[in-house]
Chains A and B, each alone.
Chain A
Amino acid sequence: MMMPARLRKFALTAHVATSVGWLGAAIVFLALAVIGLTSQDPQAVRGAYLVMAPAAWFVLVPLALASLLTGIVQSLGTTWGLFRHYWVVFKLLMTVFATVVLLFYMETFRLVAGVAADPSTDLDAVRNASPMVHAALALLLLLVATVLAVYKPRGMTWYGRRTK
């Protein structure tokens, strides 16, 4: 179903805003993870890991779900379709993958925050490379998705060629 031009603009704005917002949030999480790993201030280290879980619930998860949802709406509401073009399919798969991994990773955020909350835990045990690795990989994935969305490389899927 094709969306009217005004609605399409609105949907596109929502999709760009949520997707770029997710990218920005991933950069902030990468910064928090680096602070947690490298800061010499014990409060900053513990604070970085403590804030990750609630910030992820309030920012990362809503933005990821909103980006996925608005992307699907945007695809289905335009002639691009969801499975007609390779770049749309790849972007969809990457977004779904990143969202699923994020939802599973929420448990890790909770555990890491639990360790950081215990004042008797040694600071070296609080420091954890996992959030940095995951934030860096998420950032890479989101950057690739952004490049795909901007360049829209040519190529129609078998389904797209059949339904042309």
Chain B
Amino acid sequence: MADLPDHPARAPDDAIPERVRGSPPGTPRWVKVFGIVAISVALLFVLLLLTRGSHGPHRHLRRVGAPGMAAPSRRP
């Protein structure tokens, strides 16, 4: 998840934390974009849940319970 160079002389600038290289104040633009995308995806998912019903394992199967459907095995 995070790594630090143990040899600063070989380290690229982007491998050094802000407290070493200086942090710009405020929230960076990429964080805002990430946040907007994450909230949009979450809202889309909620909208799909509301319009299409619950999103459980059985939703992923076609014609569950239809004739010819096997009883699923309990083993992984």
* Contact status of A118 and B69, CB under 8 A, knowing A88-B1, A154-B24, A155-B23: yes
- B18 contacts across to A, CB distance below 8 A: 85, 154-156, 160
Minimum-distance CB pairs A-B, first 4:
A114-B72, A118-B70, A71-B1, A80-B2
How far does the alpha carbon of A70 sit from the alpha carbon of B19 in the complex, in Å?
A: 23
Bound complex: CA of A130 vs CA of B35, how far in Å?
A: 26
Task: Tell me, yes or no, whether B53 is within 8 Å of chain A by CB.
Answer: no
Question: Is the pair B3, A78 in contact by a Cβ cutoff of 8 Å?
Answer: yes
- A74 near B3 with CB under 8 A, answer yes
Cβ of A117 < 8 Å from any Cβ of B? yes
Interface flags for A18-59 (1: CB within 8 Å of B; 0: not) read 000000000000000000000000000000000001101100
Per-residue CB proximity of B8-31 to A under 8 Å, as 1/0? 000000110111000110011011
- Among A8, A54, A91, A125, residue most surrounded by chain B Cβ atoms (within 10 Å): A125
- What CA separation (Å) do A5 and B13 show in the bound complex? 19
Assuming A79-B19, A86-B27, A155-B27, what are 4 further A-B pairs, CB within 8 angstroms? A85-B17, A86-B28, A110-B76, A161-B23
Which secondary structure dominates chain B's binding surface?
loop
Q: List residues of A whose CB falls within 8 A of some B CB.
A: 5, 8-9, 12, 15, 53-54, 56-57, 70-72, 74-75, 78-82, 84-86, 88, 90-92, 95, 104-115, 117-118, 120-122, 125, 128, 130, 149, 151-156, 160-161, 164
Q: Is the CB of A111 within 8 A of B72?
A: yes
Other-chain contact of B73, A79, A114, A130, A164 (Cβ < 8 Å): A114
Count contacts on B: residues with CB < 8 A to the other chain: 33
What B residues does A161 contact at CB under 8 A?
23
- A107 to B76, Cβ gap below 8 A? no
